[in-house]
Amino acid sequence: MLSKIVRPLVQTQIRLLANSMATRSILMDTIVRWLGYLGVQAQITQLEPISDKIKVSLTVGQPESCDATDWQTILEHLRACGASENGSKLKHYSMSQQQQTYLARLLAYLIQVGHPDSILEWELIKTHLNVLNLDHSLQAEIKAALKVPQQSEQLINKLDSDLVAIALPIAVSVALLDGEINLQENQAITALLEAIRA
């Protein structure tokens, strides 16, 4: 499963960073390399410790799998919205109410199968969802969807390709809230990957 592959790699890189005096260059190289695995060309323009965090600034080129027209559209949208949207809640573009409901139910499913033997405390879940920068209306729909068992197959089949592209990274983040990805979470994420490739 995804966590069993990624976690040892991350632990190895952390140990390498902790045991090296060339921490800055190794960390920069690691970030660029990991983004490269995703087909993203990145250059680090700033890296510095701030309190208990590390601030990283990147310049990112067109990903290998990105169509040139899509890339230009992305750049135009970023220029049009300017800096005023920085830090705002994720608004999920012009998602219809039905699409938002499907997304909320899918995320509720991942939360349910990620904690099969435990009672889900909403305040704890809400804290995690806030970290993911999900807006309040989506969180309210997730809370409502958690009250009944959800079925991933029905939900994934109803997501269009644009919504799947939004759902996938959020789904991975939700699945990793407890630091593990179990079989059911992995199957749902794999289904999303297959839907995005279709």
Residue 85: per-residue pLDDT: 52
Last residue of a domain, one of 12, 43, 60: 60
Domain presence at residue 68: no
Domain presence at residue 149: yes
Structural domain for 193, as ranges = 97-197
Helix (H, G, I), strand (E, B) or coil at 43: strand
For 19-41, write each residue's pLDDT tens digit.
878 888 888 888 888 788 777 88
| Domain shared by 104 and 187, yes or no | yes
Domain presence at residue 103: yes
- Cα-trace Rg, the chain: 19
15 has which bridge partners? none
Handedness of CA 127, 46, 172, 118 (dihedral sign): negative
Residue 87: per-residue pLDDT: 45
| Domain shared by 55 and 102, yes or no | no
**Total number of domains in the chain:** 2
Domain presence at residue 69: no
With contact defined as beta carbons under 8 Å apart, do 107 and 170 qualify? yes
For 142-173, write each residue's pLDDT tens digit.
999 999 888 877 777 777 777 787 788 888 88
Mean pLDDT of residues grouped by 10 in the chain (198 residues)? 62 78 85 80 91 92 86 87 53 71 88 79 84 84 90 75 79 79 84 74
